[in-house]
Amino acid sequence: MSSFDFVQGLPPPAIKWTGFPKYNFVGGNNDADQVPVEHLTAASNAVLAREGATLATYGLNSGPLGYRPLREFLVGKLKRDAGIVCTADEILITSGSLQGLDLVNGVLLSPGDTVLIEQECYQGSITRLTRRGINIVGIPLDDEGMRIDAVQNALADLNAKGIKPKYIYTIPTVQNPTGTILSEQRRRDLLKLADEYGVPIFEDDCYADLIWNGKRPPAIYAMSKANNVIHIGSFSKSVAPALRVGYIVAKWDVLSRILSIKTDAGSGALEQMVLAEFCAAHFNDHVPKLTKGLRVKLDALMDALAEQFGTAAEFDDPKGGIFLWVRLPDNVDTLKLYQAALASGIAINPGTEWSVNAAHSKSRLRLCFASPSVHEIREGIAALAEVCRKEFGVPERSANIEKARA
């Protein structure tokens, strides 16, 4: 046993990694076949030959906000894709959007504060708030994303109690885990409520590039006239998660406070240099190819679920992304299913880990389809159905066969 006296309140110790399971439907991984290795190699060689000597300086002679050519690329990309008009000095490069989450929380939140977030939401957002001792108010979603009437009711209720939330957190474009997209009208209504109650909005847009039809509403940040929105994004889903490059967009009065607590001496320089070189030449061609391949995998997953589970598995066709939010019959506890499935070499995300309302999501699960091949998706779902049948009697074999033959 270790003689180190660890501080109180730490999360549980990490489990030693023993490799990926045979069928891996978890994690924000992407399609290995879609990583643009050749272009990244060429970009690496070109940018290092041209600017490699700047590695001798913290910040690559671009300052603490990050490699300037990457920020300048983002200025154009954000304007074109999300309608955001900003300058390079209003963008901070981070080590993935997760660091962006931590930095924003670090300047805005203290234990006991209250925030509004989507009831089903990114697990990393929920756990970070919980560890900080934040009071979380979950807002229900429907097939169009966060329900604005529920936001209004929550704000009015909190206001009557003298409580002002520190922010409203939302993943409006390809929501995680539901895959919904908040409409432009709902974005206007959300901004109106935020203005009325003086509550800022924290917009997480890290999945926004992965939309099947390539069309999205303007970012909430772009629509705000009160400058009360912080926007974060990432290259993890559009290029490669292991690169660990994200960004924060905010006005300088906010960004200057965030920058002051970013004490890592700068995010990885090589990643920023290579991404800037790659993106300038290839990003606009790369993303449609990536989404086309992801859509093929999603179709394979939905077909496999229909074949193996029949009507026992309910889901909506998401508008983009890398995951599918599935509802099983009420008698299925997906936390127990997760444990039994993992013992059989199948990894899934139980719904309770992606919700602030465990009872509402007990029978739901999130399946990430980007990493496994189409063949692995079909085999893995068949294996998952067999485990679920043994543990919970779902799906019934006869009904499943009839559905498969239909």
- Residue 230: its H or E element: strand 229-234
Average pLDDT over residues 316-333: 96
pLDDT value at 248 more than 90: yes
Q: What pLDDT was estimated at residue 400? A: 47
E-strand ranges in 101-159 read 114-118, 135-139, 141-142, 145-146
> Model confidence at 166, in pLDDT bands (50, 70, 90)?
very high
Question: What percent of the chain lies above the pLDDT cut of 90?
Answer: 87
Q: How far apart are CA 70 and CA 83, in angstroms?
A: 18
Q: How many CA atoms lie within 13 A of 369 on its CB side?
A: 32
Residues of the chain with CATH 3.90.1150.10: 23-34+287-405
137-157 confidence digits (pLDDT tens): 999 999 999 999 999 999 999
Q: What pLDDT was estimated at residue 288? A: 96
Query: In Å, how far are 141, 186, 200, 208, 274 from 175, measured between CA atoms?
Result: 10, 14, 19, 9, 28
2-25 confidence digits (pLDDT tens): 689 899 888 888 888 888 899 999
User: Which CATH class name applies to 37-282?
Assistant: alpha beta
Domain 23-34+287-405 has CATH 3.90.1150.10: yes
278-324 confidence digits (pLDDT tens): 999 999 999 999 999 999 999 999 999 999 999 999 999 999 999 99
30-39 confidence digits (pLDDT tens): 899 999 999 9
* Cβ atoms of residues 278 and 235 within 8 Å: no
Residues 6+ apart with CB under 8 A from 315: 302, 305, 324, 325, 326, 327
CA angle 163, 164, 166 (to 5 degrees): 130
pLDDT value at 404 more than 70: no
pLDDT value at 406 more than 50: no
104-137 confidence digits (pLDDT tens): 999 999 999 999 999 999 999 999 999 999 999 9
Q: Is the dihedral of CA 215, 286, 179, 122 positive or negative?
A: negative
* Cβ atoms of residues 181 and 216 within 8 Å: yes
Residues listed for the chain = 406
- Residue 368: its H or E element: strand 364-368
* Cβ atoms of residues 258 and 92 within 8 Å: yes
Residues of the chain with CATH 3.40.640.10: 37-282
Q: What pLDDT was estimated at residue 232? A: 98
Q: What pLDDT was estimated at residue 401? A: 47
